Structure 1
Amino acid sequence: MAVTAAGAQQTVETVEAVFRIESARIIAGVTRVVRDVQIAEEIAQDALVAALEQWPESGVPDRPGAWLMATAKHRAIDLVRRKETYARKLAEVGRALEDAPPPAEPSGPDDIDDDLLRLIFTACHPVLSTDARIALTLRLLGGLTTDEIARAFLAAEPTVAQRIVRAKRGLARAGVAFEVPYGADRAERLGSVLEVVYLIFNEGYAATAGDDLVRPALCEDALRLVRVLQGLMPAEPEVHGLAALLEFQASRIRARTAPGGEPVLLADQNRTRWNGLLMRRGVEALHRVGGGPYGPYALQAAIAACHARAARYEDTDWATIAALYAQLARVVPSPVVELNRAVALSMADGPEAGLALVDALTGEPALKDYHLLPSVRGDLLARLGRHEEAAAEFARAAGMARNTRERDLLLDRAARARAGRP
């Protein structure tokens, strides 16, 4: 049967869409066979090429994801069986594979999920730098191309490509096992996994540099990753805590910017634009944390829930938020947490209370170049009627801000403060 150009193009788009959805599971399944993330990714790409070559002629299979998985695993086992060039790989996997027939179907769904969990812990291994973990996670688990990752983080594509290559080599060099850790090691490694997802989301929610305040695609990638983690690790409270936090934060994304892309402060946001479905998902995830002592992500989710429950900014329960920040400061002491607590205190007890805490933070080395410190101080000074001092703080914050939208907002606030306007 002749294949039309339109039909072929539609098939290509189907292949690419299926691969984007299934690539993480395919790479994970193949990594279990070859024990090397870099080789596994190459084999997964080979399976994609095979689909692009065959499906326009044969048609899309009934189970396209299973077809890709089976094709990739066939190639992986062929690769392991080869002598000489891949003898080392054969020794690592074990001689038993020599007698194992190629699977006609992929492993069961439970096995695939186990492999995916192994891949997440491998990509987020603390042996890698934070930047390397983020890039590798987005590549292997988010399905992003190198170009997409580079554009998301405003980095040069060759830099990101090298970062990913070095990450894969670093895992191989360190002999990182393709496994889910247990006990104390698991708790430590889980922290690294959650940190990577959190950082990916934050870069989408409040971009550190560039012309856009929000990059929703990164937020969506982080949400997808944390939802996968929820399914794979349903007994881990902090996984649900992070999920709740991201769902609540994501619910406000549409209201955070004006039509022209300008930032809209929390006090000025149109709360009817907050996404009710995501807020409900946040409530459900927070409920799944359970009643035990909250970890840092669950505490932040509880703070976000306070905002979600307030129909108007004026209805916000700032006293509870301040108490939650105090608890968070005990769990994870941090100048940034203290700065956020200062804002909550200023709303609960007045700007003087917040300013006293902010002034105590001005000598913190970790906040030396943090533009939100002078920004918060400027806001508190403006509320106290100390407009000239407030203007100077806003101008100082603008000089530190790397994001164009934030810089413009801070310069505008400086001008308004000089004019004695709120």
Structure 2
Amino acid sequence: MTPPAPSSSTAPRALLRAMFDAAVAAAQPSICLPPHLPAPPRGRTLVIGAGKASAEMARVLEQHWSGELSGLVVTRYGYAVPCERIEIVEAAHPVPDATGMEAARRMLEMVGGLSADDLVICLISGGGSSLLPLPAPGLDLADKQRLNTALLASGATIGEMNCVRRHLSSIKGGRLAAACHPARVVTLLISDVPGDDPVDIASGPTCADATTCADALAVLQRHRIEVPPHVREVLESGRGESVKPGDPRLAGHEIHLITAPQMALEAAAAVARAAGVPAHILGDSIEGEARDVGIVMAGIARQAATRGQPFTPPCILLSGGETTVTVRGCGRGGRNVEFLLSLGVALDGLAGVHAIACDTDGVDGQEEIAGALLAPDSLERAYAQGLRARASLADNDGHGFFGALGDSVVCGPTLTNVNDFRAIYIGQDALVR
């Protein structure tokens, strides 16, 4: 079946897409990484890292580093870029694979035996948790894969998921930095988590962790996630405790947040204002069920459209963060299109309101699709094809819904990751007279 032509209201859609592109561009390592590079050491310089942006970070570092350099960085399949001195390995995300596990093992071996004259530069971005899946002693890759799958479907927040991951790992929760001792460690972070807490970015492989095995057990209980007895034993015995604040092996460790969701939202807001449309950032760390956030945002948009409160149209409402999806259906996901579908159902074709919701890494859920665009006539066009928005939402099938309309946003790997990007355009014609 050939999708119908997109909505005729092209100006708002073009502006929303330009804002998304600006948000992604502002988070590129080529812009944000060079100012944070440390001075070369007396000894060796070793580069390690993981995440969807880590390969591009490594390439930029190489371009700006004239001294001796070597290392290993692991990124998602399809996100590798050519490097001359740093080895790039591709592995699976969001469910880990053996390639990622082997890369994590090699990384730990590489940092062993360093001296106080050596420097380790750690390049970390979102996705690193799945890309460094080295299990704690007594566990195997299959345990990690089953747990990751269960966590992703549970509705747990990213902070909760990473708490569990840190306590069932041999490399996360500060263990990688501890293995570098006594070398100097400088970690450069691209944040993809609400609140920008370094320990939650890729589960903090070089960051001290104040959470405990008891906290991880509480997450499993809260979300009714069953794990095998040998996995539970790692947590109940305390064998999975991470590296805690004050550990002398992490003394002198530097952590630099080089870009974050707020910076991307500000870049998008500047594009809107340059086009003569006021833009308002509602928050860069919004969490919760994607469909619930969609309902709330629809309420705010409707109030602006019908009452001119809290902002008068034309205006754009911007937000970021990381929502969650509790999977109940059999659809194709992901969280941004789930938000957008819920928003559309709640707005019910409200005139003058358009929206975009995309993941800044170019992948929403497990699809190679960043997200989608919503127009006032989206539900009507879907109905003409026999699609029912509420049914698609109940089946967690946002990608199927917007794909059928030709409204998916496909941009390929962006080589960065500052989490979700959401923008709602409320036009002058939305005002009810």
TM over 0.5: same fold? no
Task: Identify the structure with the greater strand proportion.
Answer: 2
Task: Identify the structure with the greater helix proportion.
Answer: 1
TM-score, structure 1 as length reference: 0.30
Work out which structure has the larger RCO, using CA pairs closer than 8 Å and 6 or more positions apart in sequence: 2
TM-score, structure 2 as length reference: 0.30
For the pair shown, which has the larger CA radius of gyration, 1 or 2?
1
